[in-house]
Amino acid sequence: MAEIFQSKAAFGKRLSPLTPADSVGVIVRERAEDALAIVTARRGMAADLAKRVNAMGIVLPSRPIRAAQGSLAFLGIGPGRWLATLDDGANRSQRCDAWAKSLAHDLAGCASVVDQTDGYAVLQMGGAKARATLAKGVAIDLHPRAFHAGDVAVTQIAHVGVMLWQLDDQPTYAISVFRSLASSFWHWLSVSAEEFGIVVAGATGPDRSSAQPRMVQQQPPKS
């Protein structure tokens, strides 16, 4: 019997309720149910790998962009390397490592696949001041003329290594960080967004923005 996929929140324990403000500029939520894997092309097999991925309905990116079909996406993160994502617990009825093994089977001989679901945490970030908040720490130009929906960057935010991609033109971003650095990243984000107002939405998934958000504050470090 398949084991039910249990989401493992990396940020949730660091949040606590506050009284809602009149205006909120940044809305975030953790994508705790997403599955992630790093895909690396084997030497001389890039063309065959592209054909395999194309059979999944996706044109494998040759540059830092996101290509998706349904809940599956491939993000170009470096020469011959991609971040594969399965969004919003679409594979809830299976263990997340089963999805990575299935992907490895589909790409056998063409690529190495390493499950990173427990290695990374993904935070989704939107709102009228999302771009302005990220601009305080990100090392790239996020102006719409330079960074668009579908674009991907492997960069740093406040000295924390991240994979950043833009989901739409609102704009909404997804930010992947090592789980061990989630606390450091959240500290920077909560402080940087404080002037705009920041809330954490309670739902998961790209189309569940109707969930009621709650105001949050940074938990003080334990002595």
Domains of the chain with bracketed CATH: 12-32+119-218 (3.30.1360.120), 35-115 (3.30.70.1520)
Q: Where would I find the H helices in 76-181?
A: 96-106, 130-134
d(CA 71, CA 134): 26
The whole-model pTM stands at 0.81
pLDDT at 129 over 70: yes
How many angstroms separate the CA atoms of 117 and 96, rounded?
Answer: 7
Q: How many CB atoms lie within 10 A of CB 158?
A: 16
CA distance 169 to 166: 8
Is residue 161 scored above 60 in pLDDT? yes
pLDDT tens per residue, range 49-107:
999 999 999 999 999 999 999 999 999 999 999 999 998 555 444 556 689 999 999 99
pLDDT computed for residue 210 by the predictor: 32
Residues above pLDDT 90, as percent of the chain? 71
**How many CA atoms within 13 Å lie on the side-chain side of 139?**
11
